[in-house]
Amino acid sequence: MGSGELDARTQELIAIGASITAHCQPCLTYHVASARSQSVDEADIRAAMEIGQRVEKGSLAAMRRFAESVVDGPTPNASACCGGTASPGGRKCCS
């Protein structure tokens, strides 16, 4: 069984993929530089970026299907978003 902790190089590779998925350009710049400073192989950096791009592509496809189902389905309850509260803290979903 593992220690539950990831080494710094692995953390940076995960952060690179997450930066791509989150569309965070400053994050990607930071984490690629950090990975390079730890001598992470360029091929590993590119592999992490490709994984992030695959996750992003899958997420986008799922959102498109969901959006189509919302548009094509029954009219959503207006109080479920923006006009009503959507979180336990009482915040509106768009605020």
**Distance between CA 29 and CA 45 in Å, rounded?**
12
Structural domain count of the chain:
1
Residue 42 structural domain: 8-79
Looking from the CA of 38 toward its CB, the CA atoms found within 13 Å total 15
- Distance, CA of 64 to CA of 94 (rounded, Å): 19
Whether 87 maps to a domain, the answer reads no
What confidence score (pLDDT) does residue 90 get? 63
pTM, rounded to two decimals: 0.70
Q: Which of 32, 61, 34, 60 is nearest to 47 (CA)?
A: 32
- Is the residue at 1 inside a domain? no
What's residue 17's pLDDT?
A: 98
Q: What is the pLDDT of residues 8-65, one digit of tens each?
A: 999 999 999 999 999 999 999 999 999 999 999 999 999 999 999 999 999 999 999 9
Give the whole-angstrom CA distance, residue 6 versus residue 23: 24
Residue 88 lies in a domain: no
Q: What's the confidence (pLDDT) of residue 91? A: 60
Residue (of 5, 37, 32, 40) closest to 16 by Cα position? 32
Classify residue 2: in a domain, yes or no.
Answer: no
pLDDT of residue 2: 75
